[in-house]
Amino acid sequence: GQNIDQPTEMTATEGAIVQINCTYQTSGFNGLFWYQQHAGEAPTFLSYNVLDGLEEKGRFSSFLSRSKGYSYLLLKELQMKDSASYLCAVKDSNYQLIWGAGTKLIIKP
């Protein structure tokens, strides 16, 4: 079966750096997405990786290793507003998105 694994919850301190990991086993691969979802709101797009390596976008970076079935989202200079759930999703060979259950990130002052 297809599976996306990510930690259920993480805690970090304001101003620090946090890395959220995602491992996947899917039927084919057509890209990996990270979304941010604040409580009670809709998911919003953060990043997309289809080739191995690091994609940097401001304070957020996303890394992909297709051979290892692994990605991480790196958040730098954490702010209180970064408290949210972070969803990892992979597009399979049928171009359907397979979603992880999300990682709830708690930022403490």
| Choice between 43 and 69, CB closer to other proteins | 43
Minimum separation from the CB atom of position 4 to other proteins (A):
7
- Dihedral sign for Cα 17, 8, 80, 107, please: negative
Which residues in 65-98 are b (16+ Cβ under 10 Å) and which e?
eeeebebbbebeebeeebbbbbbbbbbbeeeebb
Q: Pick from 102, 103, 105, 107: which binds other proteins (CB under 8 A)? A: 102
Tell me: does residue 27 bind other proteins (CB under 8 A). no
98 near other proteins, rule: CB under 8 A: yes
Q: Closer to other proteins by CB, 17 or 54: give it.
A: 54
The smaller minimum CB distance to other proteins, of residues 60 and 99, is found at 99
Q: Per residue in 31-54, is it b (16+ CB within 10 Å) or e — as a string?
A: ebbbbbeeeeeebeebbebeeeee
Measured CA to CA, the distance from residue 109 to residue 107 in angstroms comes to: 7
Of the candidate residues 13, 19, 27, 44, the single one contacting other proteins (CB under 8 A) = 44
Task: Give the interface with other proteins as residue ranges (CB under 8 A).
Answer: 4, 8, 30-31, 33, 41-45, 48, 50, 87, 89, 91, 95-102
